[in-house]
Amino acid sequence: MNNTLKDLLEEKRSVILTKWFDSILDTYPADDSGFLKKQKDRFLNPIGHTFTNGIDGVLGGLISGQDVEESASFLNDIIKVRAVQSFSPSKAMGFIFALKKVVREELKKEIRQNQINEELLGFESKIDDLALFAFDIYAKCRDQLSEQKTEELKRMTFSLLKKANLVSEIPAQEFERKDLDFNI
């Protein structure tokens, strides 16, 4: 009996998720990845919990054929974590492409036996689309972080200038002078 790629992915879902999770954790230093793998409590290990739930939702969406945007909530949580860490953009987003390798390795024999190369190419194309969508999310997260850092720097600078008596607040009345003529 020939199985479809969807059937095979469902059948091997837990193994694929475990290997995908491990490939994500391999991007972290050994001390961190060991903790993230071993600690199962969602409150003691919120990053591991976020990744586990996120990749499960993403894979489920890919298997069921959901639109990329429907997986956004699962991606959002993972990408927010990766965006604040010290990864390059390619490293931060590489976890999505790792799914291709995991699927190919896990289903190597079945892909040949069931001649489902076309289905696999379609599935991998969805992963590529997901990666592009995820990169947009990543860019927005990085922009927000940059804006927050800039605002914090402005607040700190103003506070330091004020403490040094180099700046004082100007009463609002001084800005309301009507005798100024800006017409040139």
Count of residues for the chain? 184
Contact 79, 137 (CB under 8 A): yes
Q: Is residue 60 part of a domain?
A: yes
pLDDT of residue 33: 64
Give the sign of the dihedral formed by CA 122, CA 125, CA 123, CA 68.
negative
**Cβ atoms of residues 95 and 58 within 8 Å:** no
Asked if residue 162 is part of any domain, the answer here is no
Domain contains 171: no
Are the beta carbons of 9 and 103 closer than 8 angstroms? yes
CA distance 126 to 19: 19
- What per-residue confidence (pLDDT) applies to 13? 97
Looking at the structure of the chain, the number of domains it has is 1
39 in a structural domain: yes
**Where in the sequence is the domain holding 63, given as residue range(s)?**
5-142
Q: Residue 43: what pLDDT? A: 73
Check residue 72 and give its pLDDT. Answer: 81
Alpha-carbon span 42 to 20, nearest angstrom: 19
Summarize pLDDT for 17-59 with one digit per residue, the tens. 999 999 999 998 877 666 777 777 777 788 888 999 999 999 9
The reply to whether 154 falls in a domain is no
Cα(79)–Cα(87) distance, integer angstroms: 11
Asked if residue 107 belongs to a domain, the reply is yes
| Cβ neighbours for 132, distance < 8 A, ≥ 6 positions apart | none
Residue 166: inside a domain: no
pLDDT for 178: 53
| Residues in the chain with pLDDT values less than 50 | 175, 182, 184
Whole-number Å distance between alpha carbons of 22 and 16 = 10
Residue 147 lies in a domain: no
Per-residue pLDDT at 3 = 85
Buried b (16+ CB within 10 A) or exposed e, 50-68: bbbebbbbbbbbbbeeeeb
Comparing C-alpha atoms, which of 151, 181, 154 is closest to residue 167?
Answer: 154
